[in-house]
Amino acid sequence: MYKSIGVIGAGSWGTTLADMLAKKGHKVTLWAYEQELVAEMESRHENSIYLKDITLSGNLAFTGSLESAVSNKELLLFVVPSQVLRKVVKEAIPFISRNALIVSASKGIEVGTLKLVSQIYEELLPPELFGCFSVLSGPSFAREVAMEMPTAVVVAAADIRVAKDVQDVFNCRFFRVYTNRDVIGVELGGAVKNVIAIAAGIADGLGFGYNTRAALITRGLAEITRLGLALGANGETFAGLAGMGDLVLTCTGDLSRNRTVGIQLGQGKTLAQILSEMRMVAEGVKTTESTCLLAGNLGVDMPIAFKVNEILYNERPAKAAVMELMSRDLKAEGF
With CA atoms as reference, report the closest residue to 264 among 309, 215, 318, 313: 318
| Per-residue confidence (pLDDT) for residue 136, from 0 to 100 | 98
Location of each CATH 1.10.1040.10 domain in the chain: 189-326
CATH number assigned to the domain with residue range 189-326, chosen from the 4 options 1.10.540.10, 1.10.1040.10, 3.40.190.10, 1.10.1330.10: 1.10.1040.10
- What tens digit of pLDDT does each residue of 30-87 get? 999 999 999 999 999 999 999 999 999 999 999 999 999 999 999 999 999 999 999 9
Considering the candidates 107, 193, 286, 307, report the single residue annotated as catalytic.
193
CATH number assigned to the domain with residue range 4-181, chosen from the 4 options 3.40.50.2000, 3.40.50.720, 3.40.50.300, 3.30.70.20: 3.40.50.720
Cα 191 → chain centroid: 6
Contact 131, 159 (CB under 8 A): yes
Output the pTM of the full model: 0.96
d(C-alpha 263, C-alpha 281), whole Å: 16
pLDDT for 1 beyond 80? no
Got the DSSP string for 178-199? EEES-HHHHHHHHHHHHHHHHH
- What tens digit of pLDDT does each residue of 94-104 get? 999 999 999 99
Location of each CATH 3.40.50.720 domain in the chain: 4-181
Active site (annotated) includes residue 193: yes
Q: What is the CA radius of gyration of the chain?
A: 19
Angle at 286 between CA 328 and CA 76, to 5 degrees: 130
